[in-house]
Structure formats: structure tokens, C-alpha cells
Chain A
Amino acid sequence: MTGLNTIGRSSLRDDADIPASASKASTHTSLVAHRLKPLRGIQPGLVLSWSVMAVVVLWALFPQWFTSYSATVGVARQQLRAPSAEHWLGTDALGRDLLARIIYGAGNSLSGALVAVGVGLVVGTTLGIVAGSARGRIDVAIMRCVDVLLSIPQLLLSLSIVILLGFGIVNAAIAVGITSIASFARLARSEVVRVRASDYVEAAFGSGGTFSRVLLRHILPNSLTSVIAFAALQLGWAILTISTLGFLGYGAPPPTPEWGLLIAEGRNYLARAWWLTTVPGVVVILVVLSANRISQSFGKARA
């Protein structure tokens, strides 16, 4: 029979020398060296990801800084031009500059994703925290509802909500957000339950902490790190899903520049204008990859 305490005993003595020596080395270096460490270990992928996100955010906020063309009004006799010095990424069937449409589209795609993640984060995390800290019947009730939400495939659920709310980019974003409530709730609950079971939370109660104080001082800060990392991951996913709804025609109505819609419109000119579909897709991939990479770095910081 080995009990919990005996297992803990052996693991703590860390007889495997690798982690012990590694961690000891870092504890004995001075605080200054500790701060310098991230600088020394620059990860090119992560830097690139943050730069991509920064550029896209700037596109969304100040599109006029990056292009002089209009996103919605085409230039006569400039239809379906291949990429050139004049139009870096070519033009579409109405003579609109593709780069301009992508830059102006960043605002729609990004704000849509933010709305979606916001809905999922706020509603889902609240539900998860309530379930995890209340336990008992409230917990069971909330988590059963979450199970039901999970049982309907996400795309079908968002389509049902889009039918209810009507087409449009905000509605599509809300629909996407509602479908992610379940996963946010599950994660938040499991994190709260995990942190609640930790010794330091019990110790906080043991030193006279009230429930609300322990919740605010220990449970929430320690649970939310991974929720934030998940939100970053969901940002990428939301951009993908919103562009899918846009492609199917349930998002922004034409002529609004939206990345999914751009690809859908370019479909009719596959043989003549490859750039109309290829380039917006590459932009979506870059942004989603960056969001995922950033989320991953949050997750690592916690561990």
C-alpha cells in the first residue's frame, strides 16, 4: 500500500537530477539574470507571430495608412488585373484593389473574432467559475446544460443561431461566440476545481480566509491563466469560423470586405485570377497561426 504522502515524499526529493540541477541553477542566479533570460532566449516564431498580429491590428484600426485605394469602389477598366507595381495584389472583377480589400477586411474579421471570443469568454468563464465554486446542484445543472450545448456540432449550432438572429457579421460573430461558451465553461470549471483542491487554497482557508477573499486572491488568479491562453487560441478559431460563415454567405453582405467573403467572390474567377482566392487565404492562415502560437506561449509561461 502506498499512500499519497509516500508518493509525494519520493517525488519531492527529486532524485532525477535533471530538473533539480536545472532549477537550482536558475534560483541561484541573481534577479537581474532572471529578468534578462527571456531576452536571451528570443524565439523567432513568437516574435514573428506578435508582429503579424500587430500589423493586422494596425490594418483594422487605421486602414487608410496602408492603402490609398478604396475597398468598395472599383476603378474602371482595371478589372481582374494580375499583381503589379500599381496593384500589389491585383484587382477583382469590379476593379477593386485586392490589397485594399484585405486591409479594410481586417477590421471586420478582427472585430468579429473579438466579439465571438468576448461572448464565449465572458459567459462561458462566468458559468464555469460559478459551477466550480458553487459545486453541488448548481454545478450539476450548469454542466448538464454545457453537455447539451456540446452535443450539437458547433457549425450546426451556429447556423441555427444565425437563422434566428439573421445574417450579418455581428450576428455571425455572436453565433460563433455562443458555440464556444461550452468549452470556456468546461475549462474554467476544471481549472477552478483544480485550484480549489490545492494545498494553498486549503491553507488560505486555514489561516482564516473568507470564501470571497480566497476566491479573489487565490482561485481566480490561478485559474484564469489557462483561460486566457485558451481565449487566444479561440481567437484564431473564431477568425476561421467567421470566415467560413462569410464564405457560406451568412456573414457580411457584399460589398463589405470580409476575408471569407473575398475568397467566396474570387471563386468565380479561379481560372483567370488565382490571386483573388489564394492571397486572402494565406492572410487568414498567417493570422490564425500567429494567434495559436501566441496562445501556446501563454500556456508555457504557466508551466
Chain B
Amino acid sequence: MTTTINIKPVSTDVSNLPVLEISKLTVGYLGNEALQRVVHEVSLVVRPGEVVALVGESGSGKTTMAQAVIGLLAENGRLEAGAVRLNGADIAGWSQKQLDTIRGSKITLIPQDPTSSLNPVKTIGAQVAEVLQIHRQGSRAEIDERVIKLLALVGLSQPELRAKQYPHELSGGMRQRVLIAIAVALRPALIIADEPTSALDVTVQKRILDLIDELRREYGTAVLLVTHDLGVAADRANHTVVLKGGRIQEEGPTAEVLASPRSDYTRKLLADAPSLGKTRPASRKRSPRLVGRDDAVVVKNLVQDFAVGRRDVFRAVDNVSFTVRRGTTHAIVGESGSGKTTTARSIVGFLKPTTGRILVDGIDVTSLRGENLRRFRKTIQLVYQNPFTSLDPRQTIFQIIEEPLLNFGSLPREDRARKVQAILERVGLPQSVLTRRPHALSGGQLQRVAIARALVLDPQVLVLDEAVSALDVTVQAQILTLLDELQRALELTYLFISHDLAVVRQISDTVSVLHNGRQVDIGPVEDVFQRPGSAYTRELISAIPGQRNGNQYSFP
């Protein structure tokens, strides 16, 4: 499926007047001391039927922009200067009462997190009907009828049943469809989609973006697509605006921005985005010296059951087997609920498998208990997804990295300090952070600390559980480079747990694809990508954003 890119020439035609024209918009937040500006004189134009992507990393001001346009800034937010013209009328100075008349009808919102964006105590039907009631669209019966039609329009099966259900009875993807139904109910001129899919699995993300595309084409609605993912912008937008620190770095037709970026920042963003990266190292060929002869990790017929209630059993992992050669990286890929994290936790010894065998460095993990299990932990270490929760907020960075050394053995104080300093340098952090506490460091720095803590015991195997998924793409690229360096220098074996196929392709040698607890594909990473062995893997690969519109790689 391809979208036609129709970048219409700017004309004076009345019907082609911009739907949204933002000029020199400046927004700030009132803090304790002073006003802090987060958007600086940003201008952009969205024409009818057009998708404009607003791309940026965290702190770029993109969400603030979206909130400012729809008039829903946080209470301490101030629209300092500039104009927001909707169909020619400047709504920047409008009161909330005036804005209420256009919100939901002329300009609507698809929010970020579908799980918390629906009122938990009201039915789906009532929440879709609400937008029609607010804007007085006919009698009760008419509204009920339209609600069912809308739910069917966004692709929900059994719309009559869905209308009577409550949000918690629907999956995340279904809830996002409901929110889209609300957004398109009154055929608005402009939809603001604020990271509409970043909380969803990649296959669901593709279906939701397809749906937005379809409705946009049918209704001729313009979309302002706020996203952190350049791949999504590449696939879906006619026009792309790159934002950094509240300032525009680059803007232009998407194809041009991608093909010949003018700003350094865009170039860096492009290079770092795993799905678009042009500087991706050619397939990883290891020197035979590095790749050991033996297997560092062997998993055989792993099964993990969980009790649900008193009688029922949920099988989270079902008969998974793979081996990882020493010095290589094996990835476990899957969407939420695939069992990838459960597998990882069994391997590091946090869970006792129901059946199956796990050998790490020749040791049978499943039979370990008590002191033996504690001793075993020296050989394998886990790095968590979220460094803000995996580091004790009350400890200093020095204490955090030193702690594993205290758990094992009798190293004198000076040696411990030397070791901590050495490992800190290894992960690329200055010695000055040692006295700080986690809250004073950025996410990327904290993840380096977490890696340092994992490495201080000189383990053989590192399990990286979505260890780069929470980071901005430029930071993610830095951490991936660091991991690569560390692997070469320390002959580490990595088990890389991820939902992100593009990253997996970049970093791993071999890969297992999990789906609903079963392993549906396994093999060297290029083999799996070129010749996927299952329909599910094919779907996963085709859902990676950044492949449409003739972008660099296409899969057979």
C-alpha cells in the first residue's frame, strides 16, 4: 500500500488556503522563579488534506506546540507571542469559551496514551456520543445511530457490543480506534495526532496509522502529526518540520528533508534512527578470534507457566530453545505479551522455569538455589529498561556501582574505588558524577551507570532488557555504540531483548522471534530478515516504519 505524495504547489486559490498557519509562536511555562520558554518563534503551515509531521526528541517542545494549537496548555503555560490561524482566524487570543465551540468540531485531538485517555467509568458509546452531544448533533436516537456507524468506520468489530462496553474491556489498539472515532466524528478541518501510536505495538501502530491515513483521504482532513519517530514521519507526512530545543531546525517536503537534510541535527537524527540509518554498519562479521567456540547460553525447551486465580494456568513461554555463542549477540524479539521478558528473567535466575533447561557458562541455572544462586549472579547481569527505576534514588552513583563488589568478596577499599573509577571511564562518564544521585543525571547517563554496575563484576553474559527502548534516538545510538565497544573489548555475550526490529537488525548476530510465548523464527539475523520463516515475522518486518515511499531498504 502506498500513499501518493501530493505536495500541492502554493497557489492563491481560496480553497487552498492553509487550514492551520502558525506564525512566530512563542510559548513558555511559569516556574517558581521565572518564565521558562520552551517554544521559540516557530512558524509552520498545514494545508487541506496534508499531513505535516512535527518531529523532535524529548524536550523539543513538540507536545507543547500541539497543546498550544488546541488551546490546552497546562495551567502555567503562557502563549507569549505569535499567531495560530485556523482557516484564517487567529485563535491564539481566544478565550476557553470561544475555543470550546471549535474544539471537537473544527479541530480535534488523537492523544498519546489510549489506556488513560478514556474515562474508565463511562461506556465507549457514551464517550463517542459526547462529542456529538456537546456540538448538538441531533436527537438521542440519531446520535446513538451515528455512534454505531462511527465505531464501524474505524474498524471495530461488533460496534453495537463495543458501544456498551467499558474502556478496560478493550485492547490498547481498539481504544485508540475509539479515540480516532471521536476525533473524526464531526469531520474536522484539522486533527492533531500527538504521538498517536508510541504506546502501541509495532504491528498495531501500522494498522492505526493506516486507518488515520484512510480517513484523512476520505474526509480531506489535514493532520498535524507529532512524533519522535522519523520513520513514521517518512512514511506518513507530506511535509516535515524538525524541532529541537523549541526551535525549528529544518522544514520542507518530507522526501527532500530525508534525501538531502540541510541541518546537522537532521543529519544526525537520520543517521541515528535505526530504521533509516544510512551509516548502519554492514552486516556484522566477527573476527574468529572474538567468537568463542563454546556456547555461553543454552536454552532448551523452556516452558514458564503462571497461575491465574486458583485453577487456571497461563503459559507465558512455550517451548523456547536457542543457543548463544560466546562473544556474540542474540536478540529476542516480540511484542508485548510475547514472553520475551519472562524468558530473560528465567535465564538470569529470577524465575524458576516450569520445565526446560538453561545453561549459562556451563552452569545449570534451573538447579541453583540459595548461596549457589547468589554466586552464579557474578556470571550474568541484567540491565533494565528504565534506569530511573532500576537505580536506588537514595544512593550516590559511586555507591550504586560499588555495591556489587561489596556483595562479593573482600576487595580493600582503595581497590574498590579504583575499580569503580575504571569502569566509569569505560562507559564514558566523567568522574564528577560519582558523588551525584540519580535524579541529577539524564536518562542516557543513568543507563550508562546501570551498564557500569552490571559490568563491575566482570560478568560473562549481559542481558539487556529493552535497555535502549526508553531513550531518545540520538542517545540510543550512543548507547548502542558503547555496547558494541564493550563487547569487543571485554568479549561479552549479549542477550538483547527488544520490541524494535530495526535496532535488533543493527546490533545482533542471531535472533529469536517470539509470538504469544512461542518461538516462531530463529536464525542469523540477516537470514531471518531476508527469508522470514513465519507469517508473523513477515508482518513484524513490514510494520517497521520508514520503509514506504521508496525509502532505502525494501524487503522482498
- Which residues of A line the B interface, CB within 8 A? 1-18, 20-25, 27, 34, 40-41, 198-200, 202-210, 213, 217-218, 221-222
Tell whether, in the assembled complex, residue A206 and residue B394 are in contact, meaning their CB atoms are under 8 Å apart.
no
Docked CA distance A27–B173 (Å): 36
Q: Answer yes or no: B407 CB below 8 A from chain A CBs.
A: yes
Tell whether, in the assembled complex, residue B59 and residue A18 are in contact, meaning their CB atoms are under 8 Å apart.
no
Closest A residue by C-beta to B29: A18
Docked CA distance A276–B452 (Å): 67
Q: Given A9-B466, A12-B386, A21-B29, is A4 in contact with B63 using a C-beta cutoff of 8 Å?
A: no
Min CB distance B163 to A, Å, is 21
Tell whether, in the assembled complex, residue A8 and residue B385 are in contact, meaning their CB atoms are under 8 Å apart.
yes
Closest B residue by C-beta to A15: B63
Set A13, A22, A40, A208: member contacting B408, Cβ < 8 A: A208
Set B29, B198, B381: member contacting A13, Cβ < 8 A: B198
Interface segment out of the listed B31-39, B182-190, B284-292: B31-39
Q: Given A1-B336, A203-B384, is A20 in contact with B59 using a C-beta cutoff of 8 Å?
A: yes
Question: Across the interface, which residues of A come within 8 angstroms of B443, CB to CB?
Answer: 12
Tell whether, in the assembled complex, residue B407 and residue A25 are in contact, meaning their CB atoms are under 8 Å apart.
no
Min CB distance B514 to A, Å, is 12
Q: Answer yes or no: B148 CB below 8 A from chain A CBs.
A: no
Set B32, B201, B350, B404: member contacting A207, Cβ < 8 A: B404
Tell whether, in the assembled complex, residue A2 and residue B172 are in contact, meaning their CB atoms are under 8 Å apart.
yes
Q: Given A1-B172, A2-B172, is A207 in contact with B385 using a C-beta cutoff of 8 Å?
A: no
Closest A residue by C-beta to B394: A221
Question: Across the interface, which residues of A come within 8 angstroms of B439, CB to CB?
Answer: 23, 27
Min CB distance B112 to A, Å, is 6
Q: Given A9-B199, A202-B350, A203-B453, is A3 in contact with B336 using a C-beta cutoff of 8 Å?
A: yes
Set B199, B378, B440: member contacting A10, Cβ < 8 A: B199
Interface string of B374-395 (1 = CB under 8 A from A): 1101100110111011111110
Q: Answer yes or no: B337 CB below 8 A from chain A CBs.
A: yes
Q: Answer yes or no: B469 CB below 8 A from chain A CBs.
A: yes
Tell whether, in the assembled complex, residue B403 and residue A209 are in contact, meaning their CB atoms are under 8 Å apart.
yes
- Would you list 29 pairs from A and B whose C-beta atoms are within 8 A, ordered by A residue? A1-B172, A1-B204, A2-B173, A2-B200, A2-B336, A7-B115, A9-B385, A9-B466, A10-B195, A10-B199, A12-B386, A12-B470, A13-B198, A14-B59, A15-B58, A16-B63, A18-B76, A22-B31, A23-B439, A40-B33, A199-B390, A200-B389, A200-B390, A200-B392, A207-B454, A208-B374, A208-B408, A209-B407, A210-B407
Question: Across the interface, which residues of A come within 8 angstroms of B442, CB to CB?
Answer: 24, 27
Closest A residue by C-beta to B388: A12
Question: Across the interface, which residues of B come within 8 angstroms of A210, CB to CB?
Answer: 374, 407
Q: Answer yes or no: B216 CB below 8 A from chain A CBs.
A: no
Closest A residue by C-beta to B59: A20
Question: Across the interface, which residues of A come within 8 angstroms of B381, CB to CB?
Answer: 206-207
Question: Across the interface, which residues of A come within 8 angstroms of B377, CB to CB?
Answer: 205-208
Min CB distance A222 to B, Å, is 6
Min CB distance B38 to A, Å, is 5
Q: Answer yes or no: B228 CB below 8 A from chain A CBs.
A: yes
> What 5 pairs across the A-B complex have the smallest Cβ distances?
A3-B336, A2-B172, A12-B470, A207-B404, A208-B407
Tell whether, in the assembled complex, residue A17 and residue B228 are in contact, meaning their CB atoms are under 8 Å apart.
no
- Which residues of B line the A interface, CB within 8 A? 29, 31-33, 36, 38, 57-64, 74, 76-77, 112-115, 171-173, 194-195, 198-201, 204, 226, 228, 335-337, 341, 348, 350, 374-375, 377-378, 381-382, 384-386, 388-394, 403-404, 406-408, 439-443, 450, 453-454, 457, 466, 469-472, 499
Question: Across the interface, which residues of A come within 8 angstroms of B336, CB to CB?
Answer: 1-6
Tell whether, in the assembled complex, residue B64 and residue A1 are in contact, meaning their CB atoms are under 8 Å apart.
no
Tell whether, in the assembled complex, residue A6 and residue B62 are in contact, meaning their CB atoms are under 8 Å apart.
no
The dominant DSSP class at the A interface is: helix
Question: Across the interface, which residues of A come within 8 angstroms of B63, CB to CB?
Answer: 15-17
Question: Across the interface, which residues of B come within 8 angstroms of A198, CB to CB?
Answer: 389
Closest A residue by C-beta to B116: A7
Q: Given A18-B74, A21-B36, is A6 in contact with B58 using a C-beta cutoff of 8 Å?
A: no
Min CB distance B207 to A, Å, is 12
Docked CA distance A221–B394 (Å): 8
Docked CA distance A207–B29 (Å): 42
Q: Given A15-B112, A207-B407, is A20 in contact with B58 using a C-beta cutoff of 8 Å?
A: yes
Min CB distance B317 to A, Å, is 14
Q: Given A14-B58, A15-B112, is A1 in contact with B394 using a C-beta cutoff of 8 Å?
A: no
Docked CA distance A152–B82 (Å): 63
Docked CA distance A15–B36 (Å): 17
Question: Across the interface, which residues of B come within 8 angstroms of A4, CB to CB?
Answer: 336
Min CB distance A7 to B, Å, is 6
Tell whether, in the assembled complex, residue B392 and residue A5 are in contact, meaning their CB atoms are under 8 Å apart.
no
Tell whether, in the assembled complex, residue B466 and residue A217 are in contact, meaning their CB atoms are under 8 Å apart.
no
Add 15 more A-B contacts to A6-B499, A200-B391 (CB < 8 A).
A6-B172, A9-B469, A10-B112, A10-B199, A12-B386, A12-B471, A15-B63, A16-B74, A21-B36, A202-B350, A206-B377, A208-B407, A210-B374, A217-B392, A222-B394
Question: Across the interface, which residues of A come within 8 angstroms of B38, CB to CB?
Answer: 17-18, 21
Tell whether, in the assembled complex, residue B200 and residue A204 are in contact, meaning their CB atoms are under 8 Å apart.
no
Q: Given A25-B36, A204-B403, A206-B381, is A8 in contact with B386 using a C-beta cutoff of 8 Å?
A: yes
Tell whether, in the assembled complex, residue B62 and residue A15 are in contact, meaning their CB atoms are under 8 Å apart.
yes
Docked CA distance A204–B439 (Å): 19
Tell whether, in the assembled complex, residue A1 and residue B171 are in contact, meaning their CB atoms are under 8 Å apart.
yes
Question: Across the interface, which residues of B come within 8 angstroms of A203, CB to CB?
Answer: 382, 384, 390-391, 450, 453
Min CB distance A265 to B, Å, is 48
Tell whether, in the assembled complex, residue B457 and residue A207 are in contact, meaning their CB atoms are under 8 Å apart.
yes
Question: Across the interface, which residues of A come within 8 angstroms of B404, CB to CB?
Answer: 207-208
Set B74, B201, B341, B453: member contacting A1, Cβ < 8 A: B201
Tell whether, in the assembled complex, residue A9 and residue B470 are in contact, meaning their CB atoms are under 8 Å apart.
yes
